Structure formats: structure tokens, C-alpha cells
Amino acid sequence: MNPRGVAWLTWTYDWLYSCPSIVVLGRFKVGKYEGVSILNLLYPRVVVLGRGSSITVYSNIPSYFYGEVVRDICINLSRGVFPNRDFIENAITKAMYYGGLSLFVKKGGEAVPLLFELIDTSRYSFYFKPAATPSSLHESPVEYWLLLGLGLRTGIVEYIVEPCLKLGGYSDGVCRINVGVGELVIASKKGFEEPGYMRVVPDNNPLRHVVKVK
């Protein structure tokens, strides 16, 4: 398997599912309830191809973007199985249906949607640097994520400054958020260049299902 190539395009298939990589940004509390903030990324991805009873799976999602979890979820969805074993898995699955930035509250093992925000990708550029040593997710007040989502949807930079300062740092149009497995950078200006950072793009329409019509 060569996930970086296009060999899968030569495989005849009847349908495909394409699932996004995921960044779990952080945790929060709403009253007595725990919550989590999730960002969908356009690339890298998992692609599940189906023909008859056979499937072929291609993935180039690294572990820090929940590669194995997304792979299992994508395969299950292609089989009509909705994962519900774990809060994070349930939240990731639901986030794939909505896109952008998603907030979920934990109720039992279920992830209950609190907020979905589409992201103005023409206004902001996103970058990610994996951590040499991953750490646990920070818990932050929910209002930081609400303000961040508002700023990312509207393109109004003023809204993201305070949450960025609290979640990592903000300086000269560059927001830094510590997400445990690395650092997410949101730049409201062009020309961000620092060694070790890869360009990533939020996905506002993440889960794709394509069926071949004969």
C-alpha cells in the first residue's frame, strides 16, 4: 500500500468513503459536564473503497491526528456501523458529519453536540507542529472555545485574541494553541514560516461518500 501515491485510483470500486484527520484541541467543562473541542482537517485522509463484499483501505493519517481511530471509524461507517464505544470516538465520528470546529459534551459515553462552527479558510491559515513528547490535553473554560469558534467563522480577529492568549499565545497576528500532541498555529496574516510546521487546512465538509452510478 502506498498511501501517498495514487495507486488506489486504478482499483475499480463501486463506492468510497473518505474520512478526515482530526485534531482534538482541548477539554472544557460546562456545569458538571465534561466536553471536548475537535477540528477536522482536509488532509491527510482515510479512503475506504468498496466493490462487492471486498474493501480496500488507504490511509496516510499519522498517530497524532488519530490515524488508527479514524481508520477504524471510517471502515465501520462504510459497513453501516456507528461507533459508540467511547466518548472521544463518538465525538470524532459526529464531528465528521458537520465539519469545521465542533464542541461536544459528554453524557454517559455519548458525545452530545454543543456547537458547530464553519471556518473562514480565506481569512486564516493553519499550521501544525507535532510534539516531540505528547502531553495530556489541557482543560479550559468553554467560553474560550466559543470565542475562538466565533472568530474563526466570522473572520473577525479580535474574537480570537483572548482565547489564543489563554490557550497558548498570541503575537503579531499569530495564534498558538497547545493541543497536547503538538502546537496548532492560526495565522491571520500571510507569510507564516517557521521550521518544523506543516500547513494544514480545516475541512468544513469532511465526511465524503461517493457511489458509482452505472
d(CA 119, CA 138): 23
Average pLDDT value for the chain: 90
Confidence at residue 214, expressed as pLDDT on a 0 to 100 scale: 61
Closest C-alpha to 95, from 114, 80, 75, 81: 114
The 10s digit of each residue's pLDDT in 192-208 is 889 999 999 999 988 77
Q: Is residue 1 part of a domain?
A: no
Phi/psi for 148 (5° steps) reads: -60, -45
Q: Is residue 146 part of a domain?
A: yes
Which of the four pLDDT bands, split at 50, 70 and 90, describes residue 117? very high
The 10s digit of each residue's pLDDT in 68-89 is 999 999 999 998 888 667 899 9
Residues spanned by the domain of 19: 7-211
Confidence at residue 109, expressed as pLDDT on a 0 to 100 scale: 81
Mean pLDDT of 109-115: 93
The number of domains in the chain is: 1
Q: Is residue 2 part of a domain?
A: no
Confidence at residue 2, expressed as pLDDT on a 0 to 100 scale: 41
Query: Which of 9-23, 92-106, 145-159 comes out lowest in average pLDDT?
Result: 9-23
CA-to-CA dists, residue 11 to 31, 120, 153, 192, angstroms: 50, 35, 38, 39
Mean pLDDT of 146-154: 97
